[in-house]
Amino acid sequence: MGTPRLTKPTIAVLEVLLGASDDEPAWGLRICMEADLGSGTVYPLLERLAKQGWVTSWTESEPHPGRPPRRFYQLTQSGRLAAEVALQERAAKRARFRLAGGVA
């Protein structure tokens, strides 16, 4: 399992997924809205994260009149750990850069 490039969109999606719970997993449109990103950015990103083993997904089983079934997305156990570590390492690097007088 590799580490994806931590672009701003990737970070935004990971933060939404990290904030989701088992009782209330994130679905595609919710991720788009909370990350403030379009579907053309979010869905390919989710697909890449799934190929790397960070994300799992499934389709809603209960029918809901008036809308198609939702597709839920959740970090895998190893994906959650890797995302937390990657975001912490990124934050530490940015903090060191600011202390060194760089612009973050």
Under the banding of pLDDT at 50, 70 and 90, the label for residue 74 is very high
Would you mind telling me the total number of residues written for the chain in this entry? 104
C-alpha span between 73 and 87 (Å, rounded): 19
For 101, phi then psi, to 5°, come to 95, 5
User: pLDDT value at position 75?
Assistant: 96
Residue from 20, 76, 87 nearest 53 by CA: 76
Q: What is the pLDDT of residue 104?
A: 52
DSSP 51-64: HTTSEEEEE--S--
Q: Where are the beta strands (DSSP E) in the chain?
A: 26-27, 55-59, 71-75
Whole-number average pLDDT of the chain: 90
Domain ranges of the chain: 8-99
How many Cα neighbours within 13 Å face the side chain of 75?
Answer: 18
Q: For domain 8-99, which CATH number applies: 1.10.10.10, 2.30.30.100, 1.20.140.10, 1.10.357.10?
A: 1.10.10.10
Please compute the mean of the pLDDT values over residues 83-100 and round it to a whole number.
83
